[in-house]
Amino acid sequence: GAVVPVILDVTLEDTVVTAARFIQEEQRPLVGLVNCAGLSRRLPLELEPMEAVKELYEVNVFGVTRVVQHFLEMLRCSKGRIINIGSVAALLPHRGSSSYSGSKAALEMITDTLRLELAPWEISVSIVEPGYVKTPLAAKQMGDNAPWRQVDPVKRQWYQDWIDSADRSRQQAHDLAPGPEVTSAAILDALRNPKPKTRYVVANVKHFPAWTLTTLAWLLPDRIKDLIVKKF
């Protein structure tokens, strides 16, 4: 059938309500909900404008919650599926990613809890956790668009060592990253597979498959993990 786009802003309650009502009026089963709206910012927490932190959480955490609440009744009727787009950043602390990693860690726990809460209705809940992927979202963090360029020069000096290495490191990771097809394949499997995974760890972080780093994150002591992550 035809693809019918429905425009909504996950931060605005009325647009989410309107979108949910539109789909209900179509009288077709809603078989899947993919929460892929997201913002990314990479700055040390001390340098982050509070309004920017609030905006990031409004999209990455509260936006997902808002959409799930309004679409869940339809998913319950169809025993549908929810797929949230997280990040390996939820498991791997990295300098400059406090806000972003924190939002994705919150989404991680929301996903795990939803999976338990919705099991009585046979609603599958999965999370896709990419490493670096070539997307416009990633490109906005580099070069002239890098958030640190908007920071007061005096405060910027406090983190100059991080700034000097961050741009180079991020550019290298971006150059080695696969395209969004890796996340698309995981999303399709989560929607179609009779027994979908609860987690799909995809893409890479520079030369390493993302799954190897998330495994290390679970196994290694924090101090050892910190030493390894500093190299990325």
Active site residues: 100, 104
Angstrom distance (rounded) from CA 54 to CA 94: 20
Q: Quick one: CA torsion of 22, 126, 206, 132, rounded to 10 degrees?
A: 10
Angstrom distance (rounded) from CA 159 to CA 67: 37
Query: 82 - beta bridge partners?
Result: 33, 125
Q: For residue 39, what is the DSSP state?
A: -
Is 67 within 8 Å of 10 (Cβ atoms)? yes
- Token pair, residue 98, equals 């406090």
Residue written as token pair 């059938």: 1
Q: Are strands 81-85 and 124-130 parallel, antiparallel or unpaired?
A: parallel
Angstrom distance (rounded) from CA 186 to CA 201: 9
Count of CA atoms in the C-beta half-sphere (13 A) of 50: 0
- Token pair, residue 228, equals 């390894």
Quickly count helices (H) and strands (E) in the chain.
10, 6
